Amino acid sequence: MRMTSETKTRALLYFEDLWSGQMIHTGGNPVSVDAEAIKTFARQFDQQPFHLDEAKAANTFFRGLVASGWHTTALTMKLMVDGGVPLAGGIIGAGVDELRWPRPVKPGDRLHVMSEVLEIRPLRSRPDQGLAKVRVTTLNQNNEPVQVMTCNLVVLRRGS
């Protein structure tokens, strides 16, 4: 049985390099979120007052401007691609089992990602691939989770 460890190198990982309990830190720089980015995303994809206008947002459930959860999800993907799980062949999603936003992202937040491999299994129908179930936690500058996502990723096997 292998012990949990952290992957700090950016070498590409294949199915054979992954194990249950493995922790993988974002290798790139944190993503900073500002009010204008929040509003720009919201104008195109989530036009609710708490994403668009500070004055209106002050009188909502959030008591201020916050990013859309979908904006947080897009930023998480950026972090994963730029320096998250360095999978050979890229980050290929096969579905999401869980997606939660335990706290809102606010202007000034700096986000980074921590990933934990929960399970791996080879694909019988495709011997050159496996499936990894990975919990991706997006954290703010205080290491508070702002998003938790459990996703299934297609992972290439070495030599494929």
pLDDT of residue 3: 33
Contacts of 87 (CB under 8 A, 6+ apart): 12, 13, 14, 153, 155, 156
pLDDT of residue 4: 36
Q: What per-residue string of b and e applies to 61-94 under the rule 16 or more CB within 10 Å gives b?
A: eeeebbbbbebbbebbbebbeebbbbbeeebeee
pLDDT of residue 153: 97
Read off the amino acid at residue 148: V
Q: Rounded to whole angstroms, how far apart are CA atoms 38 and 11? A: 33
List of domains in the chain:
11-156 (3.10.129.10)
pLDDT averaged per 10 residues in sequence order, the chain, 160 residues: 42 95 87 98 98 96 97 96 87 96 98 96 94 97 98 93
Strands (E), 10-69: 23-25, 31-32
pLDDT of residue 102: 98
Q: Rounded to whole angstroms, how far apart are CA atoms 45 and 147? A: 18
Stretch (H or E) spanning 83? helix 69-83
Whether 134 contacts 115, CB under 8 Å: yes
Q: Could you tell me how many helices (H) and strands (E) the chain has, helices first?
A: 4, 7
